Each structure stands twice: as structure tokens, then as C-alpha cells.
Amino acid sequence: MGKYRGYVVANKGPKGRTAMRDSGSKTFKTKADAIKNIKSDNSRWMKKNYSSEYVQKSGFEYGAVPDGKFKDGAVGNKNLLKWHDKGKTDTGGFGGLDTLQNELGKANAFAKKNLYPPGSGTY
């Protein structure tokens, strides 16, 4: 069973975006547990060190990565960011999650209209 480490992606002002992994020694058995932990850690850190306005501008995104997938340090974090962004847009050629959700909505509407007779109450 794999071990996961949480990470956070944040807007970095005019310099773009950055990804940072949890530096704690703990890893987690599931992605969900790693994400829950990094959200909690980041929330405590931000409340202690920054204003709520800055926190909102940061646009945090959270995830979990198998521990050791990327090297430690700045280069590893840059590769993590590329990997994270690729995962957000890798939707099988549909061009992004919003487009994919829109297409799925159209398919569902078509199915309701054409596959179930009006008045059947089944859908």
C-alpha cells in the first residue's frame, strides 16, 4: 500500500504559482487523509502568519502525491506543479473539466428526453 504526502498549490503574486509539499515526517495511507492533513496544517499556518485577504488571493488547491515521486527542493516542487496542472486538464481530449462536465450534462439531458418515454416516471 502506498504512502501519500499532501501538497498545496498557491498563487504567488506576479511570479505565478507554486507547489509545496508537507514537510512533516508523517505520510498517510490514503490520498484523502493526506489532503485533510495538509489543509489543516496550511490553515493554521496562514491564520498565524497572514491576513484573511491574502489567504483568499492565494487560491489554494490541495492534493496528495505518492511519497518520493518528486525530488526534494525547488526542482521537485516545479515538477509537482506541472504534474498537478496536467492532472487538472487531462480529461481524455475534452479540453478541461468544465467542458467535460458540460458535455456530460448534455448527454444526461438527451438521455432523459429520448430514452425514457414522457410520463414513465423513470429517469
The tens digit of pLDDT for each residue in 76-103 reads 999 999 999 888 765 454 445 556 667 7
Give the span between the Cα atoms of 77 and 80, in whole angstroms: 5
Pair 73, 19 in one domain? yes
Q: Do 78 and 98 belong together in one domain? A: no
Q: Domain check: are 97 and 83 in the same one?
A: no
pLDDT by 10s per residue, the chain, length 123: 569 999 999 887 677 888 999 887 789 999 899 999 999 988 888 888 888 887 777 788 899 999 999 999 999 999 999 999 888 765 454 445 556 667 777 787 777 777 776 676 665
> Which structural domain range is residue 113 located in?
92-123
Please state the pTM of the whole predicted model.
Answer: 0.65
| DSSP string for residues in the chain | ---EEEEEEEE-GGG-EEEEE--SS--BSSHHHHHHHHHHHHHHHHHHHS-HHHHHHH--EEEEEETTSS-SSHHHHHHHHHHHHHHHH-STTSSSHHHHHHHHHHHHHHHHHHTS-TTS---
Domain count, the chain: 2
Rounded to 5 degrees, φ, ψ at 122 are -110, 120
